[in-house]
A and B are shown apart, each in its own frame.
Chain A
Amino acid sequence: MIGTAVLQRRGRVRGRPALYTSYAADQAILNTPAKRWWTAALVIVALALPFLLSRDLTSLMMTVFIYAIGGIGLNLVTGYAGQVSLGHAFFMGLGAYTAAVLGGVETDRVLGFGLDMAIWLPMAGIVPALVGLAVAPLAARVRGLYLAILTLGLVFIGEHIFKEAQMITGGAGVGRSPAEPVLFGMDLHGTYHVFGYILPRDAMLYFVCFLIFVVLAVAARNLARSKLGRAFSAVRDRDIAAAVMGVPLQRTKTLAFTISSFYAGIAGALLVVVIGQITPTNWDLFLSIQFLAVILIGGIATISGSIMGAAFVVLMPRLVSELAGSVPFISTAPGSGFLTVFHVQTMLFGALIVLFLVLEPRGLYGLWVRVRNYWKAWPFSY
């Protein structure tokens, strides 16, 4: 009796890691010991990185986390809910400018209220989410490629608005400085002493980015296995069937857009804190394509895939420029040689999207599943 009760509560049997005796245990995010250990190891490595890496690599890792936040947001609407959006760059821009106005420094050219990060960061998510909520009724009316091009329209109209709203964005070509990352009165750009150790510069910003990333990733993973997440998948797989089963289509699509825009806004606001100066032309079609590449290369409708995809898309150009010295026909200086590093980076990017879609539609996540399954059964083939 007692044994059964314990078993039901824990849902696991000692020595039988793959046997689940409760629904909760089966649905747990970290449902196997291997996942628990690997996640713990990765978190420890991520926390140790700013002490090991140089400053530019640390900020590259921050970019990875931020791209992962944006990628998760796009994956929620495109991967889980099946609504292809090319408008992600617009919502990121919206988040970035909300943050810049609320948390930026006032000059004679641009507005800035100099508020704390505890205020501007949530607002950077909420304002794009509200705009997403306003756009969603229109987006919910159209499907498939019509929707993709409709959201592309958002990017172009948004770019025009950003260029014109000079008090907010600084105007085309000039731009403005981003929000100040001051959290509860503590400047995250500064150097700090903790327990007698001197933290490297920007390490605090790195930790805060990582924390936000982890919180948002876990939230998205939780969302995906909730009632709403299942509604997303139902709408993606067959919207009429979903409606017949009682899933409210309009509401589900609207929520998908709103939540995705929230993630995009946060990612946009943090991205400019890492990059620095921003101009309205940053938020263009190519940024949207980059985020589509994150989820296509990483894996459609997976959170861990979005993270892998973000790491890949952000780190690949750096890897190419590191390797450029040892490959003969790539030149590092512009205007000389057969191909410049920039050409190779961009071409590789395009070619990789094609290759992944043709050869491994499940992306890096699919590759990982194959490797995992191989070693699970090793030395047998299945």
Chain B
Amino acid sequence: MAELISAGLIRGLGIGSTYALLAVGFVIIYRATSVVNFAQPALMILGAYFTSVFISAAGMPFAIAVVAAMLAMAAIGMATERVALRPMVGRPPFAAAMVTVGVFITLYVVAHRLIGSRVRAIRDPWGLEQVDLLGVTVAQIDLAKIVISLTAIAVVGLFLARSRLGLAMRATSLDQEVALAQGVNVGRMFGLAWAISAALAALAGALIGTQAGGFEASLALVALKALPVIIIGGLDSIKGAVIAGLFVGVAEALTRTYQPRYADWLGSNFDVAVPYVIMIVVLMVRPYGLFGTREVERV
């Protein structure tokens, strides 16, 4: 029972909350520009890199370093949108998505060049410490991941729901031309969407990068798991992204704990394939994800 909660649920929710962070970033960009941003993994790993540099080279405390990395990545995200994505406005979504693939490859090489072949570490305040939670021993880092991620998502949600800028962003995602007619600077909203999304990716990178033993550039590929997450949740639903993120994280952690014991025939490291299997099952039942809006087809 204790194993079920600590190794299954809590660790799963910890990983899942970082998936949710990345997925919310995908959804925000998708809603603003109808583009799936395949560059998100590269933004994530650069965020982890900046955090580790700010901590080790500039000597900042963890919290400030994370915020600084988020700001730096927000600037990079905005610049990417302006240079690579703005010319694609009005072009088919597939072409724009392929542009983000190109951006991903380029930024991924930059990350490889910066991080090099050595392993980098983020000196986070939690390390391998554990805490007693209602009689179950759980790792502090997992709790920290859950609390920080869900707080960040809640802040973004509040911003979208309550602030003037958030309203403008929602208006843009609803109908760009009408928003333009109401005096919303649509181009700036695109930039803002990328900035928020890149900042969330940086936060996710800092949290995922805390793993024991440090991280390498190839950790970026973990962020690809956010792709099945957004498909399960529905491409345009923030609520769906959060729920599906947590769900996939728990499913993965449970598979890692129990599959070698009960279903060994599925092979080692089956947990890597689990998000995609869940995605295919969900798509068979609901082609637009659990919370996604069904596309309106006009003839």
Contact = CB atoms under 8 A, between A and B. Distances in A.
Interface residues of A, number: 39
Interface in A76-122: 84
Nearest to A165: B267
Interface in A142-177: 142-146, 148-150, 152-153, 156-157, 160, 163-164
Contacts of B269: 160, 163
Given A145-B93, A156-B276, A347-B106, A357 B228 contact: no
B84 A358 contact: yes
Interface stretch (B63-71, B94-102, B138-146): B94-102
Given A343-B113, A358-B88, A146 B105 contact: no
A346 B109 contact: yes
B75 interface: no
Contacts of B93: 144-145
B227 interface: yes
Interface stretch (B148-156, B174-182, B196-204, B279-287): B279-287
Nearest to A289: B101
A131 to B, nearest CB: 14
B97 A343 contact: no
A312 interface: no
Contacts of A163: 267, 269
Interface stretch (A39-47, A215-223, A348-356, A368-376): A348-356
B87 interface: yes
Given A146-B283, A347-B105, A358 B273 contact: no
Given A149-B36, A164-B267, A358-B88, A240 B109 contact: no
A153 B288 CA distance: 16
A141 interface: yes
A343 B116 CA distance: 11
A354 B273 CA distance: 30
B297 interface: yes
A253 to B, nearest CB: 13
Given A84-B94, A142-B287, A353-B102, A343 B279 contact: no
B224 interface: yes
A146 B228 CA distance: 9
B54 interface: no
Nearest to A138: B284
A361 interface: yes
B146 to A, nearest CB: 26
B25 to A, nearest CB: 15
A240 B298 CA distance: 9
B82 interface: no
Contacts of A351: 102, 106
B241 to A, nearest CB: 13
B88 A350 contact: no
A160 B273 contact: yes
A301 to B, nearest CB: 13
B73 to A, nearest CB: 18
B231 interface: yes
B231 A146 contact: yes
Contacts, number: 119
B295 interface: yes
B104 interface: yes
A303 interface: no
B105 A353 contact: yes
B288 A358 contact: no
Contacts of A52: none
A156 B91 CA distance: 29
> Which secondary structure characterizes the binding site on chain A?
helix
A149 B231 contact: yes
A66 interface: no
Contact of A354 (B102, B235, B284): B102
B88 A244 contact: no
Nearest to B295: A143
B299 interface: yes
A292 B38 CA distance: 14
B161 interface: no
B91 A142 contact: no
A53 interface: no
B21 interface: no
Contact of B103 (A153, A289, A349, A354): A354
Contacts of A152: 224, 227, 276
B101 A138 contact: no
Contact of A357 (B95, B106, B227, B273): B95
A353 B99 contact: yes
Nearest to B35: A145
Nearest to B266: A164
Contact of A240 (B230, B283, B299): B299
Contacts of B4: none
A252 B109 CA distance: 39
A339 interface: yes
Nearest to A349: B105
A36 B269 CA distance: 54
15 contacts: A146-B231, A146-B289, A148-B97, A149-B36, A149-B228, A149-B230, A152-B276, A156-B272, A157-B280, A160-B267, A292-B98, A350-B105, A353-B99, A357-B102, A358-B88
Given A351-B102, A353-B102, 15 more contacts: A138-B283, A145-B93, A152-B224, A156-B272, A160-B273, A343-B109, A346-B109, A350-B109, A354-B103, A354-B106, A357-B88, A357-B95, A357-B96, A357-B99, A357-B102
Interface of B: 36, 84, 87-88, 91, 93-99, 101-106, 108-110, 112-113, 117, 224, 227-228, 230-231, 235, 266-270, 272-273, 276-277, 279-280, 283-284, 287-289, 295, 297, 299
Of all A-B residue pairs in the complex, the 3 with the closest CB atoms, nearest first, are A350-B105, A353-B102, A164-B267
Interface of A: 84, 138, 141-146, 148-150, 152-153, 156-157, 160, 163-164, 240-241, 244, 285, 289, 292, 296, 335, 339, 343, 346-347, 349-354, 357-358, 361
